[in-house]
Amino acid sequence: MHPILRVVISSQQTGLILVILVLAAVLTLFAGSHTDRATGATVNNFLNSYTLTQVATDASFFAIMAIGVTMVIISGGIDLSVGSIYALSGVLMALALRAAGPMGHGATVCIGIAICLGLGLLCGLANGAMVVGLRVHPFIITLGTMWVFRGVAFVASKAESVLVPDALTKVTKATLGLGGALYPVPMLLMLAITALGGVYLTWTVMGRHIYALGGNPEASRYSGLRVGRILVSVYALSGLTAGIAAFVGSSYYGSASCADATGYELYVIASAVVGGASLSGGRGSAISATLGAIVIVLIRQSIRTLHFDQNYEWIIIGCATIIAVVLDQISARVAARRMVSS
């Protein structure tokens, strides 16, 4: 077998793509069809431009955050607070813009982006600083900040949904010439963040340091790596991606509330794990995280399209996460045995 073909077949991403294709084929076959009112043509309920764009849009919110969380997982940590950072960033952005009053289109968009990204980054820095400074397990730190950040959003918004300016919605719902109800901006942003995350992890020194820290923390310390700085940076990036997702999500749906992204941390971590990120650290990628998010969204779409009880969504996603972790452990044991035998 050709070496390139062997690498492609054994790649984690190839398996994820095959799963996505299988799920898409099942949905195409069993989703049924309807008649387009405008053209009279028969249109598949899944395999059409509107549904595919909507699936990509739904996946974009999970995928953007999953890329940041994947970096944390690669370093050997965990971040449970991303959903709350999303809610806090969106709420405070909406409140700030409402208090500022009418402004120009460009100024409104720039200020909205700055607030969401700035708050996300600050929350991530706070997580990283506490993990490093207090020397408490990141599960406990981010579990606490998950409640703190959402509590601040609740108090600030008084549990009300806050509308965002139309200028933001016009940006995220720009059709970019596609027309109709097709809004590709979230999908394009997801692809851009995936590319940037892939470059950062694969081609930069800091990215290689993240893998080194997750693979062997003690060796990283003895080799002179600034472990504290690396840990703070990955949590900061996780918060930043949550802030980006908050801006896109709040702008796309036109409002923000303290209940936004409730439970998203579970979907995001599931996306990273299904994408091949090892919870023991040292393995994962931005592209696989995005593919994992698409798999999760397609599972949700399958349940809705095929008219199953939506309560099965949690069962199936939970089983998929467990299977992914078990396969990861089996793969690690096989790799260890091969190293010993060689």
For the chain, domain boundaries: 43-337
Confidence band for 6, pLDDT divided at 50, 70 and 90: low
> pLDDT tens, 48-70?
888 888 889 999 999 999 999 99
Confidence band for 321, pLDDT divided at 50, 70 and 90: confident
Nearest to 269 by CA among 242, 309, 236: 242
- In angstroms, what CA-CA distances link 67 with 194, 200, 245, 269? 7, 11, 11, 10
> pLDDT tens, 69-95?
999 999 999 999 999 999 999 999 999
29-46 average pLDDT score: 81
* pLDDT (0 to 100) of residue 301: 84
Is the pLDDT at 2 greater than 60? The verdict is no
* pLDDT (0 to 100) of residue 11: 63
Q: Contact, 102 vs 111, CB < 8 A?
A: no
Q: Which residues pair with 163 in a beta bridge?
A: 255
Q: Could you give the CA distance from residue 70 to residue 79 in angstroms, rounded to a whole number?
A: 9
What pTM does this model have?
Answer: 0.91
* pLDDT (0 to 100) of residue 12: 66
Is the pLDDT at 230 greater than 80? The verdict is yes
> pLDDT tens, 254-282?
999 999 999 889 899 999 998 888 888 88
> Cβ–Cβ contacts within 10 Å for residue 293, how many?
29
Nearest to 75 by CA among 200, 243, 245, 261: 200
* pLDDT (0 to 100) of residue 314: 80
Amino acid present at 274: V
Q: Could you give the CA distance from residue 42 to residue 31 in angstroms, rounded to a whole number?
A: 13
Q: Could you give the CA distance from residue 62 to residue 299 in angstroms, rounded to a whole number?
A: 13
SS3 of residue 80 by DSSP: coil
* pLDDT (0 to 100) of residue 251: 95
CATH top-level class for 43-337?
mainly alpha
Confidence band for 316, pLDDT divided at 50, 70 and 90: confident
Q: 115 or 177, which is more confident?
A: 115
318-339 average pLDDT score: 74
Amino acid present at 137: H
* pLDDT (0 to 100) of residue 307: 76
172-197 average pLDDT score: 89
Percent of the residues in the chain that have a pLDDT greater than 70, as a whole number: 94
